[in-house]
Amino acid sequence: MSTQINIKNKKAKFEYEFLEKFTAGLQLYGTEIKSIRAGKASIVEGYCFVNNGEVFIKNMYIAEYEQGSYNNHEPRRDRKLLLNRNEIDKLVKKKKDVGLTIVPISLFINGKGYAKLDIALARGKKLHDKRHDLKAKDDKRSIDRALKV
């Protein structure tokens, strides 16, 4: 099994402060897992929500499988996340706080060949927090450049 597939949401790290992380399975159709293994998926625009005690990811893009005929899937359908009841209850309880959201961080294939999604309970960053992160990133880059020479 190939475990090289690792699709990240870099925008989420910049926009949000992660409070707690979870790993969830995905309920997928056959052509969806084939597209993910081909690396044709994106979670940048995706977000998670809770509906009737179940967690779903909305607006996650998985390209249609090229060799899939009439059995192909919808690219942006809602997909159910597979979490334990305790984890769902914890998310629902903490989500009631104002300003918290559930964002996808990365999509990967584990050792057994299953697609997994790392999600986080997150709070949006303020503008000054983003500036601080950019400054720290620039400082680190300049230090690395100086040490390299």
More confident residue, 116 or 75: 116
pLDDT of the residue at 116: 93
CB 7 within 8 A of CB 107: yes
Instruction: Summarize the confidence of residues 20-42 as an average pLDDT.
Output: 89
Residues 56, 34: Cα–Cα separation, whole Å: 20
Supply the CATH classification number for the domain 6-148: 2.40.280.10
How high is the pLDDT of residue 134?
87
The tokens for 39 are: 């690396």
Looking at residues 93-114, what average pLDDT do you find? 88
Q: Per-residue pLDDT tens for 58-93?
A: 999 988 887 777 777 778 889 999 999 999 999 888
Q: Which long-range contacts (CB under 8 A, 24 or more apart) does 93-97 make?
A: 94/19, 94/20, 94/121, 95/50, 95/121
Q: Check: CB of residue 5 under 8 Å from CB of residue 109.
A: yes
